[in-house]
């Protein structure tokens, strides 16, 4: 069994017609329970993250503007969600889900957050549906509390972890690794410690060969004592926002590669969900559910 952060506010409804799919946050836990991959007591409900931990990554000015709902309209447009107290609460609970999850991983080896992976959030501003950077907040927490010395962030979402790269660009205790579509958002990319850009229509073979060569090498070189994994399923060929051509099976093999290595090297890992924008909700749920199925088979 492994702990999974989830709170009913994760499925917080956006105004009618909003293009961001929130349904997956409701269906994924249901599917996991229905098929018996997880049990009800695997879930924990995160509280609101203590601002002290948020402020270890994000600037006071930005956090105050979020809490007071006083962000400039331009900054809100960059985020892409209408700003509301519920939305800010949702982000603070998601951040706490990752922060608490990563601490649980030391016992359980792996933990999950049903949401999170908000890697486009910078210290100073949010972008592309990301307000606060959950894995960055958790990374900084582990370092500040001396729970880890060297952290590897493996971001295999189809979009570059630009916020995460910028936040840790001069922190030698954090190694940021991002694979992403070269021609995808963000169009002005940041510099991670290692970026691998895939061309449009990259298939399973190329994707899997690349990561199965690189990740073991990174673990050997960096010797991380904690890993954060961002398991976005927007690498699928069907994805509306991705431009790669991976299959559901390839996406599952990707998760297997990451989890087998964490298991082999005995490195605790926290997994946040990241993106997934296939037109059929069942495709999104199947791909995300696979990540949990694979974890169950390995851990
Ligand atoms: Zn993405």
Q: What is the pLDDT of residues 70-105, one digit of tens each?
A: 999 999 999 998 999 999 999 999 999 999 999 999
Closest CA to 155 of 140, 175, 173, 141: 175
Biggest distance spanned by C-alpha atoms of the chain: 48
Q: Give the distance (Å) from ligand 1 centre to CA of residue 10.
A: 17
Contact 210, 254 (CB under 8 A): no
Q: Give the distance (Å) from ligand 1 centre to CA of residue 46.
A: 23
Instruction: State the CB neighbour count (10 A cutoff) for residue 167.
Output: 26
Which pLDDT value is given to residue 22? Answer: 82
Which pLDDT value is given to residue 201? Answer: 97
Cis omega before residue 189 (within 30°)? no
Number of helices (H) and strands (E) in the chain: give both, helices first: 10, 8
Q: Give the distance (Å) from ligand 1 centre to CA of residue 146.
A: 30
Residue 7 pLDDT greater than 80, yes or no: yes
Q: Give the distance (Å) from ligand 1 centre to CA of residue 200.
A: 15
User: What percent of the chain shows pLDDT beyond 90?
Assistant: 93
Closest CA to 153 of 187, 125, 190, 204: 190
Q: Give the distance (Å) from ligand 1 centre to CA of residue 82.
A: 19
Q: Give the distance (Å) from ligand 1 centre to CA of residue 235.
A: 8
Q: Give the distance (Å) from ligand 1 centre to CA of residue 134.
A: 15
Which pLDDT value is given to residue 1? Answer: 84
Contact 9, 90 (CB under 8 A): yes
Which pLDDT value is given to residue 13? Answer: 65
Q: How many CA atoms lie within 13 A of 136 on its CB side?
A: 26
Q: Give the distance (Å) from ligand 1 centre to CA of residue 90.
A: 19
What is d(CA 4, CA 113) in angstroms, rounded to the nearest whole number?
5
Q: Give the distance (Å) from ligand 1 centre to CA of residue 227.
A: 19
Residue with tokens 């962030």: 153
DSSP-assigned beta bridge partners for residue 198: 181
User: Would the pTM count as exceeding 0.75?
Assistant: yes
Q: Give the distance (Å) from ligand 1 centre to CA of residue 139.
A: 20
């Amino acid at each position: 069994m492994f702990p999974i952060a989830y709170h009913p506010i994760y499925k917080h409804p956006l105004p009618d017609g909003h293009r961001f799919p929130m349904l997956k946050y409701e269906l994924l836990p249901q599917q996991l329970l229905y098929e018996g991959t997880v049990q009800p007591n695997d879930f924990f409900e995160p509280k609101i993250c203590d601002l002290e931990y948020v402020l270890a990554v994000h600037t006071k000015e930005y956090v105050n503007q979020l809490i007071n709902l006083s962000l400039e309209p331009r900054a809100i447009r960059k985020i892409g969600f209408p700003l509301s107290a519920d939305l800010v609460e949702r982000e603070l609970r998601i951040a706490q889900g990752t922060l608490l999850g990563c601490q649980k991983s030391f016992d359980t080896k792996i933990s999950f957050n049903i949401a999170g992976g908000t890697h486009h959030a910078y210290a100073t501003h949010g972008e592309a549906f990301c307000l606060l950077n959950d894995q960055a907040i958790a990374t900084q927490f582990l370092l500040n509390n001396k729970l880890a010395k060297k952290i590897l962030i493996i971001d295999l979402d189809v979009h570059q972890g630009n916020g995460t790269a910028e936040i840790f660009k001069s922190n030698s205790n954090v190694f940021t690794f991002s694979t992403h579509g070269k021609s995808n958002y963000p169009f002005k990319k940041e510099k991670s410690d290692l970026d691998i850009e895939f061309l449009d229509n990259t298939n399973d073979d190329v994707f899997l060969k690349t990561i199965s060569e690189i990740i073991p090498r990174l673990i050997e070189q960096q010797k991380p004592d904690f890993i954060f994994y961002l398991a976005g399923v927007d690498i699928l060929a069907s994805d509306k926002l991705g431009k790669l051509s991976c299959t559901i099976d390839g996406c599952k093999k990707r998760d297997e590669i990451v989890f087998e290595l964490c298991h082999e090297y005995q490195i605790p890992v926290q997994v946040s969900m990241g993106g997934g924008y296939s037109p059929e909700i069942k495709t999104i749920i199947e791909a995300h559910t696979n990540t949990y199925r694979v974890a169950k088979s390995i851990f």
